[in-house]
Structure 1
Amino acid sequence: MSNIGLQVRQSVPGIDPVVAEYAVGYITHISLCTEDSVSAQQVDIHGEMQFLSDLLVSAGGNPEKVSAMRTKMAEVLTKKLRENMAKLELTGDTSKRLLDRSLFNNREALSSLALLGATQDIEHNGRNMETRVDKKKLEKAERKIAKKVAKRDNKFVKYEASKLLNEQSSDDYDEFFLKINPIDFSSGAGAGKSKDIKIDNFDLYVGEGQRILSNASLSLAYGRRYGIVGQNGIGKSTLLRALSRRELNVPKHITILHVEQELRGDGTSALQSVLDADVWRKQLLYEESKIQERISDIEKLRADFDEDSSEVRKLDGERDDLESHLLEVHSKLEEMESDKAEGRAASILYGLGFTKETQSMPTNSFSGGWRMRLSLARALFCKPDLLLLDEPSNMLDVPSITYLANYLQSYPSTVVVVSHDRAFLNEVATDIIHQQSERLNYYRGANFDSFYNTREERRKNERREYDNQMAYRKHLQEFIDKFRYNAAKSSEAQSRIKKLEKLPVLEAPEEEKIVSFHFPDPEKLSPPILQLQNVTFGYDPSKLLLTNVDLDVQMNSRIALVGANGCGKTTLLKLLMERLTPLDGSITRNGRLRIGYFAQHHVDAMDLNASAVTWMSKTYPGKSDEEYRRHLGSFGITGTLGLQKMQLLSGGQKSRVAFAALCLSNPHILVLDEPSNHLDTAGLDALSEALDNFKGGILMVSHDVSTIDRTCKEIWVSEDGTVRRFNGDIHDYKKYILASANSAGVVKQH
């Protein structure tokens, strides 16, 4: 067995040394198994060698040479196994138990353990054996193998999922960016190459082998804007992450940027943070300064030597090379319009709500929502060929969403956005991709509304076709059953059997899960119900947040409170709930008034280690478990969901539990702070319908334009330190926002 490495290299000429080392380690493991009385009886040498040969072929080996090596190696190992078995019969040695039966028989588990570079040694019966293969090198080898497999048949290899390409952090953002998007100085790099993306017949997995896409095809035409929709938990975000890390076969000349998490704060200013996001520009500017510095040093060094000396010739040669590269750097910087970068970055930040003053503030001074905006600003500034956005509207207010939608409408490259915001998708999307049942269904040339209508029509047609075929099948089967053994009708029965066999097999159309909410009807109250009169408030009396606010909420009120983040909307709700006390003015409440309050961060008030039923019984006692379960069921928390720990529920399901809880007091007024967050399309429809049917008053802070449009009759705007009623609906308010942005010169400046 001493020449294993040589035999592997002879069978796969040019094999990567790390892959060869893995193959040697694998064969060594099999060889050692032949020395153990337990493992020797279990080892399937031919099966294990077949597994290894498949791996080597995937790594680029010649099938004939690999097959010859496999046969020869199997013979050697089989002979060794017989010799060791004969020896073990005499010695009875059972001290070397190297591999557990279940692990050895499960090649997929063994492969996953080895390929992912487990940090612990393999556990065996009786003792642990030190791993013989360098795990870091093994990861590198398997990445290469997986890429070759993916390139060959476009199959997504599940063990390559994000464990090998780690998510970027603020510390290694530049390195990660350049790994995904390397700078190409070659002449005309990317010129004339198509930036369309076409990936056929791939599978996509997440977690422990959970498949979310099966034999799927992804087709993205350059310059189109795709909205990915589907139920919560279907795997939309996983698809974006696979694209962003090139785990799917995206061409190398296409630059990618993914916005999925908020920026980590440090002492860098907001404006500089956006400028630094363009790593190409940052790297090129650094190279420019270093080259110019070295050229300056060369000029000084030349003075120390004679003009005809060899040292001067060497320095001149180095200078010529540096000046040549400097021209390439300048060309790249000019191509990306580096001189206009600061103005463009400031314009994007302003559109997302950053004033001139806040743009100079350090990033660690901003809250999570504002850091998310910074992440979005950084992505827009970079202008990648493929921009991936995951629920961008969740952390934005209506003005910022309006600006973002307007900006993306003229974005020159490809955009893929995961969102449940109907209004946003209607404005941004040119095509919709519906992720459902491990498939990607395309609705080309469609925004959300046209997709929704087309999907409903398509579903009706599929249901009609399925029902008609089932009725026809039943008719044929009844005739066959009745006359199969009737001599006079036997030929007709046989004819119908053939017809039945030739019918295409149709699958029953998948039914959408119907979600419904219900808010109980309260008894009537006489006005005044809830009033603010000349209310002034500030956390610091020297810096007032709200001044002289008047607001009247009645039993029939349908009020949407809108405005930029940080202008006092949530503070106003807390004043109404008497969680804060005004510095001046008065708050009047009907003595019998009950308010149902939905907090933006409602999860913080929940005991996630308890089930929904247990938590509600402790927080709102007085009912039986069956009554709590029935009540939760009216908000879509059905079956055993109400009995699971709430930490296992999705964000949308936790929101439904919160809605169910606020209804237990049978409120007269609903005060809702961002109720649409985490709800999918079905949940948003259910919420809007329930609010529309509610007989009490509603005061809502929301960024979801569709929910506001379907629910609210009044728009109140919080800006410039006060709150006032807006003359118009939510669409008029969006026009007002764009007009304000236009006057400031920040719209459509790419």
Structure 2
Amino acid sequence: MIQISNLSKAYSTQVILDDVGFTINSGERIGLVGRNGHGKTTLLRMITGEAKPNSGGISIPNNYTVGYLSQHLKFSKKSVLKEGCLGLKPSEDGIDESYKVETILMGLGFSKDDFTRRTVDLSGGYQVRLNLAKLLVSEPDLLLLDEPTNYLDIVSIRWLTGFLRGWKGELILITHDREFMNKVTTHTMIIHRNKIRKIAGPTDKLYEQILLEEEIYEKTRINEDKKRKEVEQFISRFRAQATRASAVQSKIKALQKKGRLEKMSDIKDLEFEFVSAPFTGKLLIEAQDLSFSFTKEFVSKAPSPLPLPTGQAGSPSMEEGYNISPTLRGGDEGEGDVSGFNNDHISKPESPLLIDGLDLAIGKKDRIAVIGKNGKGKTTLLNLLAGELKPIGGTVTHHPSLKLAYFGQTNIQRLMPEKTVEEEILDAFPSLSRSAARNICGIMMFSGDNALKKVSVLSGGEKSRVLLAKLIVSPANLLLLDEPTNHLDMESVDSLLEAIDAFRGAVVIVTHSEMILHAVATRLIIFDDDRVRVFEGTYQDFLDKGGWKDEEEGVSRAKQNGYKKGNGRNKKDIRRLKAELIDNRSRTLTPLQLRLAEVEETISRLEKGIEHDTQALVKASEKGAVESIQKYSRSIHDSRVKIDSLFDELEALTNEIEMKTRECEEKFEALTLNGS
């Protein structure tokens, strides 16, 4: 158990944490949320000792290990597997446990052939994965993960989800992916208004509680301000009258004793929209028999990366077909190699086809998600659609009225470090007035002097907001979005989803977030099983119809490495045991879930009662009805006491359900592996 007490942290005059405290109990997996810049990473660094608090303490038991995913990538071994094995704890009996490393490496997207690769040859993204593998295999008591999914693809994230759900120690997870967090964690903790709040349950539940509490606080504050003004008027009116002196003094003392509820400061949310350009045609882009591969000849002849076009991306007419001069973008799939192509693609005389014979038509209101493992060609496809790469076969035809806005992963590197936020906006649209540019800066949370910040001092999330700001300057009828949520916090991701939903044009998005896939996509372009295909349906439809072949391959490879080996049961026994397990799970969980629902319903009813009593209290105060004021005040107090008690029961029920569910899932997964 880790105890944090009276912790405070500030940078100069900016207070990050103010006298906070919480406990990390045995087995808790905590999702840490809060807006960018509010201190999430700082808190993790204080737990590890990399940063020091201004006051307060962090109590960690003796021999308790804390593991943190370092951003500093330094490898001492030549091969991937040998480097990964450095994370293993010393074996007392001398047994070779390298199979554990192999299992985790393959779960994170490495192949057996990668085990002997030199660590220096890995792209930036795979170096981060290797670092994560070393951390996971070291099995610390407390695992600290700060945005671990940024360099992972969907298949790897799905594996990591299952791995972390079975984590036996404690965990604090920071991620912008709400669905990933809710699947993995047992508790949610938020940094909000310089304080920390922790509850059992998912993120939505915590946000709903805070919203309700702040609504009640604000109503109470307004009510008390009205009463204060009435008392002040009474004092002012009768201060000079001797007959009322006693009453006046009593009012003054009561006023001084009560104190004033301060108005809560406003917390600005990211609110913006993409401006839709009109389009009367049927298809924005049509690709026919599209093929592409990186070759040495292609790389040697390719032009250097150029600044991202503003507004329309140099679209040829429908009659001309594909005849524009492409601009070459560095790297692929967010692998961290932004100065050139991923070495995997150009290490041989000619790489295999990333895209082979793809037919694709993009309609004016399509919502298309491009999904698949990293390095398979998702970013390359967007570059082909945008006209920044030229195919080796087939055609990409743009409608004459196409107006394209492109958010690319590597575009952050195209921002000029010496320029201000405002200047970057004006560069994207030179005819924009300075006041209009400032308005856009304000919309993207760069109000006032923040618009004059230089790009060089911005965080990753702030740079992403600058790129989004450059997109909303000009009207568009097609958005190409390549991992736009990296570096954004949950609140900003929600705002982005709202903007996409309101956009009247088409959207093609590359994302590793299953939450976004479920929320946005009505069609898919799938890179899986060494091929690319168009799937007509939602992401859930895709999963229901078989899902990922690459994921099945990963399970098969894990079995071959001795991970969760079977015990010889036949398929009939497996089916029977699964049925019994499902029946036992239902009989065990049903009464707990029913009680959980009852508790939640009671809390909801009491909270509505508090809201009703608060409104009644306001009216009673306005009328000066003392008995009613006392009645409703007592009712509100009693309800809050009951709610506190019910939340304790809710936490206990949630923990028990989570524990029993996890036990069933682990048994079910073991049976699945045994029977497959």
Please tell me whether residue 530 in structure 1 is matched to residue 285 in structure 2.
yes
Contact 1:222 1:414 in 2 (8 A): yes
Q: In structure 1, how many angstroms separate the alpha carbons of the residues matched to 2:293 and 2:522?
A: 29
Q: What secondary structure does 2:396 align onto?
A: strand
Which of the numbers 246, 255, 277 marks the counterpart of 1:500?
255
Q: In structure 2, how many angstroms separate the alpha carbons of the residues matched to 1:228 and 1:745?
A: 31
Of the structure 1 ranges 603-612 and 731-740, higher mean CA displacement relative to structure 2 is found in 731-740
- In structure 2, stretches of 5+ residues that fail to align are 53-57, 296-349, 564-665, 671-676
Contact 2:428 2:473 in 1 (8 A): no
Structure-2 residue corresponding to 1:666? 475
Q: In structure 1, how many angstroms separate the alpha carbons of the residues matched to 2:130 and 2:105?
A: 8
Structure-1 residue corresponding to 2:49? 245
1:36-435 aligned at under 5 Å gives the runs 196-205=1-10, 211-245=15-49, 248-261=58-71, 263-264=73-74, 268-278=78-88, 280-281=89-90, 333-334=92-93, 339=95, 341-435=97-191
Structure-2 residue corresponding to 1:514? 269
Once the two structures are TM-superposed, the CA of residue 378 in structure 1 deviates from its matched residue by: 1.0
Structure-2 residue corresponding to 1:466? 221
Once the two structures are TM-superposed, the CA of residue 616 in structure 1 deviates from its matched residue by: 3.1
Q: What secondary structure does 2:179 align onto?
A: helix
Once the two structures are TM-superposed, the CA of residue 617 in structure 1 deviates from its matched residue by: 2.6
What is the CA deviation profile of residues 356-383 of structure 1, one whole-angstrom value per residue up to 9, with x for unaligned ones?
1123222111111111111111111111
Q: What secondary structure does 2:473 align onto?
A: helix
Of the structure 1 ranges 723-732 and 391-400, higher mean CA displacement relative to structure 2 is found in 723-732
Once the two structures are TM-superposed, the CA of residue 731 in structure 1 deviates from its matched residue by: 4.7
Q: In structure 2, how many angstroms separate the alpha carbons of the residues matched to 1:224 and 1:730?
A: 31
Q: In structure 1, how many angstroms separate the alpha carbons of the residues matched to 2:87 and 2:466?
A: 39
What is the CA deviation profile of residues 651-691 of structure 1, one whole-angstrom value per residue up to 9, with x for unaligned ones?
22221221121233311100011100111122112111111
What is the CA deviation profile of residues 238-286 of structure 1, one whole-angstrom value per residue up to 9, with x for unaligned ones?
22122123764422310111003163356622222111123x42xxxxx
Contact 1:518 1:634 in 2 (8 A): no
What is the CA deviation profile of residues 338-357 of structure 1, one whole-angstrom value per residue up to 9, with x for unaligned ones?
63622111111111111111
Q: In structure 2, how many angstroms separate the alpha carbons of the residues matched to 1:209 and 1:593?
A: 49
Q: In structure 2, how many angstroms separate the alpha carbons of the residues matched to 1:266 and 1:533?
A: 48
Q: In structure 2, how many angstroms separate the alpha carbons of the residues matched to 1:733 and 1:501?
A: 65
In structure 2, the CA distance between the partners of 1:260 and 1:460, relative to structure 1 (3 Å rule), is farther
Once the two structures are TM-superposed, the CA of residue 478 in structure 1 deviates from its matched residue by: 2.1
Once the two structures are TM-superposed, the CA of residue 205 in structure 1 deviates from its matched residue by: 4.8
In structure 2, the CA distance between the partners of 1:719 and 1:262, relative to structure 1 (3 Å rule), is farther
Q: What secondary structure does 1:357 align onto?
A: helix
Structure-1 residue corresponding to 2:195? 439
Q: What secondary structure does 1:665 align onto?
A: coil
Q: What secondary structure does 1:596 align onto?
A: strand
What is the CA deviation profile of residues 149-175 of structure 1, one whole-angstrom value per residue up to 9, with x for unaligned ones?
xxxxxxxxxxxxxxxxxxxxxxxxxxx
Contact 2:370 2:524 in 1 (8 A): yes
Contact 1:546 1:721 in 2 (8 A): no
Q: In structure 2, how many angstroms separate the alpha carbons of the residues matched to 1:605 and 1:639?
A: 24
Contact 1:390 1:419 in 2 (8 A): yes
In structure 2, the CA distance between the partners of 1:204 and 1:384, relative to structure 1 (3 Å rule), is same
Contact 1:263 1:374 in 2 (8 A): no
* Greater relative contact order, per chain length (Cα 8 Å cut-off, separation 6+): 2
Of the structure 1 ranges 589-598 and 245-254, higher mean CA displacement relative to structure 2 is found in 245-254
Scaled by the length of structure 2, the TM-score of the pair is 0.70
Q: In structure 2, how many angstroms separate the alpha carbons of the residues matched to 1:225 and 1:448?
A: 13
In structure 2, the CA distance between the partners of 1:743 and 1:733, relative to structure 1 (3 Å rule), is farther
Q: In structure 2, how many angstroms separate the alpha carbons of the residues matched to 1:498 and 1:432?
A: 42
Once the two structures are TM-superposed, the CA of residue 482 in structure 1 deviates from its matched residue by: 2.1
What is the CA deviation profile of residues 308-351 of structure 1, one whole-angstrom value per residue up to 9, with x for unaligned ones?
xxxxxxxxxxxxxxxxxxxxxxxx524xxx63622111111111
Once the two structures are TM-superposed, the CA of residue 733 in structure 1 deviates from its matched residue by: 5.2
Q: In structure 2, how many angstroms separate the alpha carbons of the residues matched to 1:654 and 1:704?
A: 20
Contact 2:283 2:364 in 1 (8 A): no
Contact 1:271 1:346 in 2 (8 A): yes
In structure 2, the CA distance between the partners of 1:601 and 1:427, relative to structure 1 (3 Å rule), is same
Contact 2:288 2:395 in 1 (8 A): yes
Q: What secondary structure does 2:373 align onto?
A: coil
Once the two structures are TM-superposed, the CA of residue 538 in structure 1 deviates from its matched residue by: 0.6
Q: In structure 2, how many angstroms separate the alpha carbons of the residues matched to 1:257 and 1:501?
A: 50
Structure-1 residue corresponding to 2:241? 486
Contact 2:483 2:510 in 1 (8 A): yes
Please tell me whether residue 456 in structure 1 is matched to residue 266 in structure 2.
no
Once the two structures are TM-superposed, the CA of residue 590 in structure 1 deviates from its matched residue by: 0.3
Structure-2 residue corresponding to 1:477? 232
Structure-1 residue corresponding to 2:514? 705
- In structure 1, stretches of 5+ residues that fail to align are 1-195, 282-331
Paired letter, 1:598: F
1:495-644 aligned at under 5 Å gives the runs 495-540=250-295, 541-644=350-453
